[in-house]
Amino acid sequence: MADSDGALVWLDSFVWHSAAHSMARRAYPSCMWHTTPSAALGGHAHGGLVGRASVGDRYGRDGVQGTDPAALALVKALDAGDAFTFAGVYTHGGHSYDARGSVAIRAVAEQEAAAVVQFSKLLRAHGVECPVVGVGSTPTCSHPPLSLDGVTEMHPGNYAYYDVMQKDIGACCQEDIAVRVATRVVGHQPVRNTLLVDLGWTGVSQQGAECHYGTFINAPDLRLSKLKQEIGEVTSGNGLPLDYVKWPIGSILFLLPYHACAATHQHQHAWVVGSDGDVVVDRWKICKGW
At 173-196, the pLDDT tens digits run: 999 999 999 999 999 999 999 999
Q: Which of 34-43, 174-183, 214-223, 268-277 has the lowest mean pLDDT?
A: 34-43
Task: Compare 90 and 1 and report the one with higher pLDDT.
Answer: 90
Residue range 163-174, pLDDT digits in tens: 999 999 999 999
Contact 11, 32 (CB under 8 A): yes
Q: Indicate the pLDDT class of residue 199, thresholds 50, 70 and 90.
A: very high
Smallest CA-to-CA distance from 38 within 89, 83, 95 is with 83
User: For residues 234 and 278, what is the distance between their CA atoms, to the nearest angstrom?
Assistant: 24
Q: Cα–Cα distance between 10 and 283 in angstroms, integer?
A: 28
**Bridge partner list, 267:** none
Q: Are 247 and 195 in contact (CB under 8 A)?
A: yes
Region 105-134: what's the mean pLDDT?
Answer: 92
Q: What is the pLDDT of residues 39-59, one digit of tens each?
A: 444 444 334 555 666 676 554
